[in-house]
Structure formats: C-alpha cells, structure tokens
Amino acid sequence: MKLSQVAFGLICLLIHPLILEAQLSPGPLAEPHAHLSGFTDCLTCHTWGSKDLSPKCLECHTPIQARIANELGFHGNLEEKNCSTCHTDHMDRNFEMIHWEPSQKDFDHLKTGYEIEGKHLKLNCNECHKSDFIVSEDILEYAKSQKTRDVLSTTFMGLGSKCASCHVDVHAGEFLEQTCEDCHNENNWADARKDYDHDFETEFPLRGAHKRVVCEKCHTASQPAVADFKPLQFTGLKFNLCTNCHEDKHKGSFGSNCLKCHTETTFKQKDVAGAFNHQTTRYPLVGMHTTVDCELCHTNKDRFTLESSFDQCSDCHPDHHKGIFLKPDRDNSCDQCHSVRGFFPPLFGVIEHRNTRFVIDGAHLAQPCIFCHKQNEQPVYQWEPLACKSCHTTIHGEQFSRYQAGGNWCESCHKTSDWVNLSFDHSATFFPLTGKHEDLVCTACHPSKNDVIQYEDIDTSCGECHTDAHQKQFEARLCEDCHSTKAWQIPAFDHLKLSEFPLDEQHKAVACGQCHKFESALSTIRFKPIPHKCQDCHSFGDFKG
C-alpha cells in the first residue's frame, strides 16, 4: 500500500470516527460506561492489536480487583474470574449490566460471606444496600474518583458486617467491648429480655423477688433518645446497697445492711423466717400485736430512731371512752377491762359490774354489752340519771311521772327477770280485782291511746267495759244489785227486795221466761215495767168483776 493511501485512510478516520465506531462497536454502551463511548476510548477497556479483546475491567474496578486478590466477598470466592460471565455491555444504553443467577430475588447471599437470617430474610436488597450504610474505605475512595457517575447508589459492595453498620446504637456506646449478638438475635430484638442471663453476664445475680421484676424497675436511668425510642441505661448502675433502688423506710435507723431483717424473697416481716425479733426489744409483741404492721405503731418520720412511748395503751390507741374512766388516785390502766389478745370480749363482766351503780341481774344478764353501751352509734358508759328510761322506752307516757321524783318507780310493777310478769298489787288501787276480773290481761281493761296504755283516770263502771244487755231498763240501779264478778249468771234474784212484785205461792215455781219475754221492739228480754194485774197473765173466762 502506498504511503499516500495510508495517509488518506488515517485522515478519514480522524475526520469521521463515528463511521469507524459504527463499523467496529457491537452496540451502544450501558449507562455506567456511557462516558467511554467513542472510537478513541475503546482502548480504555480493550487491548489494541491483540486477538484477545477481553476488557480490562479490573484495571478500572480496583475495589473488585483487591477483593479477588484477597479472596474476599462474592468476587473473591468465584471460580470463574471472567467478568463478562456476569457483566456484559454494548447491549443498549439502559441495559442492566449485572446478570443475576437465578435472579436477584433468589440470589444466594451466603456466597458473599454474609448469611442472611431471621428478619433480614424479609427485607428487600435496597433496604440494606444503601449508600449511607457503605463503610469500606476503598469503595468510598473509588466513588470519589468517579466524577461522571454515582457509584455509591449502584454498588452492592462496601457494607459492614456489624449490626451498627446499619442499625443505630441505641445504647450510646455502653457495650463497645461486646457485640450485639451477645444479647440480641436476628429474629427479635426484644428476645434479649428473656434470653439474657443476668446471673452469669453481670455482677448482680437476680434472686428471689428480683427475678420477677421488669428491667425498667431497676434500670430507671435512660440514654439520649433515638427518634421516638428512649433506651435504658444498663451499665454504671450502683447496686452495692439495697437503698440504691429501694427507699429506706427506716431512715437509716438500722444501718445499711437490710439483710439483717429482710431477704430478697420478700421485704414483709411476716413472710420472712427468722426476721426481726421484736422480743429482743423493750416491748415484746404478744397477742394481737404480733399481727400488726410495723407502720401502725411506728408512725413518726423517725419512728425507729426515737424512743417510742408505750407506757400507756393510749400512746397508740384512741380512748373510745372519752376519758370517763380516768379518775385521780386510781389505776387507770386499760388492762383492767381489756387484753392484748383482743379488745373484745372485754374482761369487765357481771362480777365487776357489781362494783358500779348498776348491778346486772335478771334478763340483763343475757344482753351483750353493746346493747346498753351504744346509742345512736356512739359509745355510752355513764348516764345521768341512771334510770330504766335511759335504755327503755315507756308505754306509760307521763302517767306515773309524779311517782318517779328522785329515782325509779318502774320496780313498783316490773322486775328485771321479766317485764310482762308484773308484781303490781291491784288491790292497792281504787278497783280491786275479784272473780273473773282476776283472769283478765291488763290490756282488756287498759286500752292503748296514741301508743300510750291508759292506767290512770280509768272509768271503773261496768258499762265502760261491758255492753248493757238490758237496753237501759236498769239505769237507776247498779249492776252489782243483780250480778257479781264471779259469773254473769244471777244465782238467786230476790224478787221481793228488788222488784215491786213479790213472788209467793204458786208464782215461786214459775220460770222467769213465763213472765219476762223477748220483745223485738226492745231487742232484749223485757224486765220492766211488767203488768202486775192477774188478768194481764191469767184468763178467767166469762167472769166479770
């Protein structure tokens, strides 16, 4: 070939490189390599004058070259080192240069040297492969050198294998000497609560009631908030004294060693075997005092350091008797009536009551104390005056008030053994009881009026209680003239003395009803006036007198 022809050809190539590129290139470059388009840039990737046109990928992609050389990551563990096996170009501007086998979704991540487990399996690739999570220095430096494209947003390399590479350290550096896997797993972060071995991993083994306490109860301090999450502080907490967490209810009275009286099983004294022995104090606990909570007696702020007063029951117990039993020059101790075994029943009984102004006998013996010593929901232990009406209502009204001046008069009729069984002597009244009257109950003659039974100013006439069976035929006479209290039936009526018609001769044998007949107009038997002439009863035929 002549020199002139060669020179012409070179001139054509220089003038029309696009014509030559179209003749030599198999197709347009993909977007990542688009800046290398053009005939003059072919040699950036391909070797001139060699039958082997394999691209010089690793000369440009130095981070991959380093990983292959060190046998790290996905590329470092590939048996096939030919880049074009997975990456091809000259297919189109929008062609995806990575060939996934079998697909990106089904890619075996274990080939990268990082196995995906737990909740990571449910994530999309782009949730982890973010530019913000890339930590490899060579990738970051390489990205800076590529001025024409955004390497960090397209690469899958450069991520760290530590949890903190993707996850925020909510513990604010508390566990720098440990890994997240020491407490957490990839299935559930919260499993650390139930899986963490507090006895082995810390200097404070959990015993007794501490095993049931939620973390937040002891780990009350918190680290700076991360978004909406406020993490707890786990290290640097004080635990050498119980008071680091628990309030000292004793205000330091018994020192700092709580285990002298309490255990980690329970702080309650009654549940602790060998707990504080109150019998070694100046006030041994007996009776009901053994079941009382400490706070009920030790009520002051410094209740265990002060010298508590317990000389009198009233130092702790209110005086429900309002001081009425406090007398000068006498023993006013409560144990005369009460015992530490219980306030009820009181020790003050019937025998002791004999020394009071009111001796208990009769039906009063069966009454509980509270029946008399509680009125209107208030305790009562003294009465002025001390009279029956202090407890009992009266059905007599004011009828006997004039007899009660200066004391009771109820005893004149009633007895404490039985209210109904009266001892009243009716013969001492203006109306002694005789005959059938002795068998009557009081209310038969003494009616109730306005809830008051009438005893005084009672009309003692027969007509007050009995109906007049004679329809006023004997208004001028007394019932006693014919009747007696033994029986209504008249035993022997003296017709001679009590009537104007003496019975003699044959009249003595005549029955009363022969002369005294029932009269309908009167609605009773006619006794007076009765006709006395013979012819009023007898018939004499035609005799005319």
Taking the CB of residue 535, how many other CB atoms lie within 10 A of it? 10
Q: Count Cα neighbours of 451 within 13 Å in the Cβ-side half-sphere.
A: 2
Q: What are the start-end ranges of the H helices in 287-445?
A: 294-297, 350-353, 369-372, 442-445
Confidence (pLDDT) at 216: 86
In a domain, 337, yes or no: no
Range 513-530 average pLDDT: 87
Each residue's pLDDT tens digit, 284-328: 889 999 888 877 887 766 666 556 667 788 888 888 888 888 887
Q: Which residues contact residue 294 at a Cβ distance below 8 angstroms, ignoring those fewer than 6 apart? A: 269
SS3 3: helix
Give the Cα separation of 268 and 287 in Å (integer): 19
DSSP symbols for 377-418: TEE----SS--GGGT---SSTTTTGGG-TTS--GGGT-BTTB
**What percentage of the chain has pLDDT greater than the value 70?**
90
Query: 239, 268, 297 — which closes off a domain?
Result: 239
Rg (the chain; Cα; Å): 62
160 shares a domain with 213: no
Residue 108 has pLDDT above 80, yes or no: yes
Q: What are phi and psi of 192, to 5 degrees?
A: -60, -30
Taking the CB of residue 140, how many other CB atoms lie within 10 A of it? 15
199 shares a domain with 97: no
Cβ distance 226 to 220 under 8 Å?
A: no
Q: Nearest-5° angle of CA 286, CA 290, CA 295?
A: 125
**What percentage of the chain has pLDDT greater than the value 90?**
18
173 shares a domain with 58: no
Whether the full predicted model's pTM is greater than 0.85, yes or no, is no
In a domain, 160, yes or no: yes
Cβ distance 128 to 156 under 8 Å?
A: no
207 shares a domain with 153: no
In a domain, 464, yes or no: no
In a domain, 148, yes or no: yes
Query: 216, 239, 262 — which closes off a domain?
Result: 239
What is the domain extent for residue 483? 470-545
Q: Which residue has the higher pLDDT, 305 or 414?
A: 414
Each residue's pLDDT tens digit, 214-224: 888 888 878 88
Confidence (pLDDT) at 274: 53
Give the Cα separation of 32 and 149 in Å (integer): 7
Range 137-162 average pLDDT: 91
pLDDT band of 26, cuts 50, 70, 90: confident
Least confident stretch, 133-147, 153-167, 323-337: 323-337
Range 102-114 average pLDDT: 92
Confidence (pLDDT) at 542: 58
Q: Which residue has the higher pLDDT, 436 or 331?
A: 436
In a domain, 229, yes or no: yes
**Count: domains in the chain:** 3
Range 355-371 average pLDDT: 89
Range 10-35 average pLDDT: 66
Each residue's pLDDT tens digit, 390-411: 888 888 888 888 777 666 778 8
Confidence (pLDDT) at 71: 92
Cβ distance 242 to 258 under 8 Å?
A: yes
207 shares a domain with 66: no
Q: Where does residue 439 rank: exposed (0-12), middle (13-18), buried (19+ CB within 10 A)? A: exposed
Give the Cα separation of 321 and 346 in Å (integer): 13
In a domain, 244, yes or no: no
Q: Where does residue 484 rank: exposed (0-12), middle (13-18), buried (19+ CB within 10 A)? A: middle
Confidence (pLDDT) at 121: 93
pLDDT band of 345, cuts 50, 70, 90: confident
138 shares a domain with 40: yes
Instruction: Tell me the CA end-to-end span of the chain in Å, nearest whole number.
Output: 216
User: CA distances (Å), 195 to each of 221, 227, 380, in order?
Assistant: 22, 26, 66
Each residue's pLDDT tens digit, 454-494: 888 888 888 888 888 898 888 888 888 888 888 888 877 88
Q: Which two tokens stand for residue 449?
A: 């009026």
Q: Which residue has the higher pLDDT, 330 or 521?
A: 521
| Residue that is written with structure tokens 């208004």 in the block | 475
Confidence (pLDDT) at 383: 84
Least confident stretch, 3-12, 95-104, 114-123, 307-316: 3-12
142 shares a domain with 195: no
In a domain, 361, yes or no: no
Confidence (pLDDT) at 405: 65
| DSSP annotation of 64 | H
pLDDT band of 2, cuts 50, 70, 90: very low
Give the Cα separation of 325 and 18 in Å (integer): 127
In three state form, how does the secondary structure of 170-193 look? CCCCCCCCCCHHHCCCCCCHHHHH
In a domain, 354, yes or no: no
177 shares a domain with 115: no
134 shares a domain with 40: yes
Q: Which two tokens stand for residue 1?
A: 């070939």
pLDDT band of 270, cuts 50, 70, 90: low
| Residue that is written with structure tokens 């501490």 in the block | 210
187 shares a domain with 81: no
In 3-state terms the chain splits into helix, strand, coil percentages (rounded to 5) of: 35, 5, 60
The DSSP bridge pattern shows strands 448-449 and 452-453 to be: antiparallel
Least confident stretch, 203-217, 228-242, 273-287, 439-453: 273-287
SS3 309: coil
Confidence (pLDDT) at 8: 45
137 shares a domain with 33: yes
64 shares a domain with 151: yes
pLDDT band of 13, cuts 50, 70, 90: very low
Mean pLDDT of all residues in the chain? 83
Query: 239, 259, 282 — which closes off a domain?
Result: 239
Cβ distance 360 to 350 under 8 Å?
A: yes
